[in-house]
């Protein structure tokens, strides 16, 4: 695995998107349990929903907001912790938390000769064809079943009947314009990542997930996903992963970057959650 892919694997976005590469050879697995949640978020209760048939949408664009977008006042995430500035890390407007912005911006300095471009990795995985053999497809599918002023939502790995559930199902709100909002405790992501030693499955877990978007018959637009990575699990995942990647990167290279980005408090008040935020869109999956 090259540095670009290593760094890619260290982020939520990384966790969401498999990099392209030779996926032949042995498969090993790095898994962490991630039941911890931050203590400062008050869960929103959207009640129950009696929805109709679900509609499947495949994510076709997924973006890490840029510092320029954040400075421009664009929507770059959610107020994951429900609080203002804590842990010495300033929020964006509206209390929005997103340390992924700064993490993504800092990663290129790890490899100036081969700058890390997380967004390019994301794009490659999303655009990888289902039958391609030279890349690994990222096939994130959002299932939305609408009821009266409510939705039931799941995030799936693919659109097949046997697709693994990555989040939910959870109930969210729905207004007359198709705007929906929901929260779910956990979004689980298992990322196959090609290395010189074969494919490594990277399992990550995002806590306190908030998902908003606008649903129509043909697409989901204005999708914003927020959440947090818990330090203990996230860093253990990295430590377990580094030897499998076969590169020269050590945890000591990465730790100092992460240390300044933990912006959310966990139980007990320690600043040990790293917020993430992504924007996305999705298009309806044609019925088989």
CB of 102 to Ca ion, least distance (A): 12
Q: Does 272 bind Ca ion (CB under 5 A)?
A: no
* Residue 286 bridge partners (DSSP): none
Give the range of 42-50, 129-137, 235-243, 262-270 binding Ca ion by CB under 5 A: 262-270
Binding mask 21-60 for Ca ion (x = CB under 5 A): ----------------------------------------
Binding mask 61-80 for Ca ion (x = CB under 5 A): ------------------x-
Residues 6+ apart with CB under 8 A from 259: none
What does the block give as tokens for 240?
């377990």
- The owner of tokens 């959207």 is 46
CB of 89 to Ca ion, least distance (A): 6
| CA dist 139 → 83, 135, 164, 185 (Å) | 33, 12, 11, 21
Judged by beta carbon, residue 91 or residue 233, the one nearer Ca ion is 91
Judged by beta carbon, residue 77 or residue 213, the one nearer Ca ion is 77
Give, as ranges, the residues between 75 and 104 that touch Ca ion (CB under 5 A): 79, 81, 83, 91, 95, 97
Give the range of 139-147, 211-219, 225-233, 255-263 binding Ca ion by CB under 5 A: 255-263
CB of 85 to Ca ion, least distance (A): 6
Judged by beta carbon, residue 81 or residue 272, the one nearer Ca ion is 81
Which residues contribute to the site for Ca ion (CB under 5 A)?
79, 81, 83, 91, 95, 97, 263
């Amino acid at each position: 695995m090259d540095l670009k892919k290593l760094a890619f694997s260290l982020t939520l976005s990384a966790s969401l998107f498999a990099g392209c590469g030779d996926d032949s050879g042995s498969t090993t697995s790095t898994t962490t349990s991630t039941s911890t949640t931050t203590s400062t978020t008050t869960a929103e209760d959207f009640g129950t929903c009696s929805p109709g048939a679900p509609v499947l949408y495949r994510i076709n664009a997924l973006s890490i907001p840029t510092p320029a977008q954040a400075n421009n006042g664009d929507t770059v995430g959610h107020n994951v912790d429900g609080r203002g500035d804590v842990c010495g890390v300033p929020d964006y407007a509206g209390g929005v938390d997103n340390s992924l912005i700064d993490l993504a911006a800092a990663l290129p300095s790890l490899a100036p000769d081969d700058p890390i471009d997380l967004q390019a990795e994301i794009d490659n995985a999303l655009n990888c064809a289902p039958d391609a053999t030279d890349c690994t497809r990222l096939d994130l599918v959002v299932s939305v079943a609408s009821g009266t002023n409510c939705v039931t939502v799941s995030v799936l790995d693919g659109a097949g009947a046997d697709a693994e559930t990555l989040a939910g199902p959870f109930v969210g709100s729905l207004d007359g314009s198709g705007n929906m909002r929901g929260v779910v405790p956990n979004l689980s992501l298992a990322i196959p990542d090609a290395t010189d030693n074969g494919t490594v499955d990277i399992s990550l877990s995002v806590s306190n997930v908030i998902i908003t978007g606008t649903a129509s018959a043909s697409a989901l637009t204005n999708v914003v996903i927020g959440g947090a990575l818990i330090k203990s699990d996230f860093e253990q995942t990295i430590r377990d992963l580094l030897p499998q990647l076969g590169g020269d990167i050590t945890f000591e290279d990465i730790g100092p970057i992460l240390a300044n980005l933990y912006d959310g408090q966990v139980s007990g008040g320690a600043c040990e959650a790293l917020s993430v935020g992504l924007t996305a869109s999705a298009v309806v999956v044609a019925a088989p």
